[in-house]
Amino acid sequence: MNTAHELVEQAVGDHRHHNVPPRIREIVDRHHQTLLGLANALIAAGRDEDEVVQIIQKASESFSIKLRTETESLSS
Amino acid sequence: MNAVCELNHFAKAKFDEPGRQRALDRLKVVDSQAEPPFERIVDLVKTTLNAPICAVTLVDNDRQWFKAFRGLNVDQTPRDVAFCDHAIRAEAPFIVEDATKDARFANNPLVLFEPHIRAYLGIPLKMPDGYIVGTLCVIYQEPKAFSEHEIAILQNFANLVVGELELRTMAFTDGLTNLLSRKAWRDRVEVEIDRAARYTNAGAILLLDLDHFKSINDTYGHDVGDLVLRKTAEIVNAVLRKHDIVGRLGGEEFAVCVANAPASVGLAVAERLRGQIAALAFPDHPGLSCSASIGVAAFEPGATVDALLKQADEALYEAKRMGRNQVRMGESAALPSWTD
């Protein structure tokens, strides 16, 4: 059985951000902690792993797109 | 504090209504268009918690306004009937298992009539400054007891909403001064110009440039230069009305849109800004003073934001040429101004 951490990695593995400006780093870290918290809460509520991964993916998708746009605009 | 409360990232909460309202105003989110991140979250919450009604609610002066919602027919209600107002005051997950059996809500119109609220769970949206600006809530039309797991799930979704609000704010905010960025300022002024054209309202654009700013940076260093920029931003914010639009266009250049006011008001505002910037004192940096030159352009029928900026820029150049620390009105185009 996978841990919440592994499920979050599985869900957002392609969306991890590096070289993020400092003022956004804190938000990114909190976002990641929230995804872990959400995964834990879903597991505790008895949701199966596939469903957890799917929910985490959807929950993080817009954030990742917006973050990428924002990071690009700040570095330009 | 129970485990659910500890899930919230920001432990410090303050119930200070004026400060809370200012925190909400700083987000510039009320009455904004629908945005995918918030739409996605309410969809996920609705599905995950099998909730017929779900909303990201922002509690404004006298109303609750829904940034994103499912299962409701209106996008706002008066604040005095809002369950979410109780939730933000509770500063913790707020639960009503059966509103018809709760004296606080049994006669509430939202219980007696549409949307017939019976059970409610609202999680306060607590921003990093500790202020609670609204809630993420789910509503059921049958009585319901909420499990710890359900509360924890909604709490984490609420934390995601807070992150989205922060990122959204950052995308249009200049990091140094917290004023609007160039792009965000332009976008908002374009909307204002369109509105002014529809209602033949007057308005003015002010372009403000700090004088000899490079020499401040060279003499005192960039930290002091940044301090001057922040102090300038504070003055601009203090002088302007809530619905005026102010941004930092870049470097030492600021722009203001004085909305729904004749050009004479724009000129008066510019003069106040100039006077207050010239009076800035820096006790920790003896000898440091600053001033600003300002160009003003009045709204004209058919004028775009670029045309108005160009006109204000020409006036600004004239102010610089005439010796700086002054205000100049732009040359109006051939078209008549709307009102003055």
How far, CA to CA in Å, does B109 sit from each of B56, B65, B82, B83?
20, 17, 10, 11
Residue B298 domain-assigned (yes or no): yes
Residues B161 and B270 in one domain: no
Residue B334 domain-assigned (yes or no): no
* pLDDT > 70? residue A14: no
Residue type, B117: I
Residue B177 domain-assigned (yes or no): no
Question: Average model confidence (pLDDT) for chain B?
Answer: 91
What percent of chain A lies above the pLDDT cut of 70?
74
- Low-confidence winner among A22-31, B95-104, B142-151 (lowest mean pLDDT): A22-31
| pLDDT at site A65 | 67
B205 — pLDDT class (breaks 50, 70, 90): very high
- Measure CB to CB from residue B157 to each of A27, A38, A46 and give the nearest one: A38
B328 — pLDDT class (breaks 50, 70, 90): very high
The answer to whether A41 touches B149, Cβ cutoff 8 Å, is yes
Each residue of B242-258: pLDDT tens digit?
Answer: 789 999 999 999 999 99
Please give, rounded to a whole number of angstroms, the shortest distance from the CA of A36 to a CA of chain B: 9
Task: Give the end of a domain, one of B172, B201, B230.
Answer: B172
Residue B309 domain-assigned (yes or no): yes
What percent of chain B lies above the pLDDT cut of 90?
77
Residues B168 and B187 in one domain: no
The domain spanning residue B305 has which CATH number?
3.30.70.270
Provide the domain limits for residue B148: 5-172
Q: Work out the burial of residue B79: count CB atoms within 10 Å of its CB; fewer than 13 is exposed, 13-18 middle, 19 or more buried.
A: middle
Q: What is the arithmetic mean of pLDDT over A62-66?
A: 69
Residues B115 and B201 in one domain: no
Task: Give the end of a domain, one of B172, B198, B224.
Answer: B172
The domain spanning residue B90 has which CATH number?
3.30.450.40
| pLDDT at site B4 | 47
3-state secondary structure A3-62: CHHHHHHHHHHHHCCCCCCHHHHHHHHHHHHHHHHHHHHHHHCCCCHHHHHHHHHHHHHH
| pLDDT at site B107 | 97
* pLDDT > 80? residue A63: no
Any idea where the domains of chain A sit in the sequence? 4-75
Q: Does B11 touch chain A (CB under 8 A)?
A: no
Cβ neighbours for A25, distance < 8 A, ≥ 6 positions apart = none
Residue B209 domain-assigned (yes or no): yes
As a whole number of Å, the CA-based R_g of chain B is 24
Residues B15 and B86 in one domain: yes
Residue B83 domain-assigned (yes or no): yes
B169 — pLDDT class (breaks 50, 70, 90): confident
- Low-confidence winner among A63-67, B168-172, B252-256 (lowest mean pLDDT): A63-67
Residues B76 and B153 in one domain: yes
Q: Does A10 touch chain B (CB under 8 A)?
A: no
| pLDDT at site B334 | 38
| pLDDT at site B336 | 42
Residues B245 and B167 in one domain: no
Residues B149 and B223 in one domain: no
Each residue of B48-80: pLDDT tens digit?
Answer: 999 999 999 999 999 999 999 999 999 999 999
Residue B100 domain-assigned (yes or no): yes
* DSSP one-letter code for B212: T
Residues B188 and B134 in one domain: no
Q: What is the arithmetic mean of pLDDT over B10-17?
A: 64
Residue carrying structure tokens 């030159």: B293
The DSSP result for B101-145, as a single string, is: G-TTTTT-HHHHSTT---EEEEEEEE-TTS-EEEEEEEEESS--P
Backbone torsions φ then ψ of A31, nearest 5 degrees: -60, -45
Q: Which of residues 36-65 of A touch B (CB under 8 A)?
A: 37-38, 40-42, 44-46, 55, 58-59, 61-63
Residue carrying structure tokens 């504090």: B1
What is the number of domains present in chain B? Answer: 2
Residues B152 and B204 in one domain: no
Q: What is the arithmetic mean of pLDDT over B13-40?
A: 87
Residues B238 and B287 in one domain: yes
| pLDDT at site A17 | 58
What percent of chain A lies above the pLDDT cut of 90?
38
Residues B202 and B168 in one domain: no
Residues B143 and B244 in one domain: no
Each residue of B100-129: pLDDT tens digit?
Answer: 999 999 999 999 999 999 999 999 999 999
Please give, rounded to a whole number of angstroms, the shortest distance from the CA of A64 to a CA of chain B: 10
Q: What residues of A are in contact with residue B45 (Cβ under 8 Å)? A: none
* pLDDT > 90? residue B331: no
Please give, rounded to a whole number of angstroms, the shortest distance from the CA of B208 to a CA of chain A: 23
Pairing mode of beta strands B327-329, B292-298: parallel
| pLDDT at site B1 | 38
Each residue of B273-308: pLDDT tens digit?
Answer: 999 999 999 999 999 999 999 999 999 888 899 999
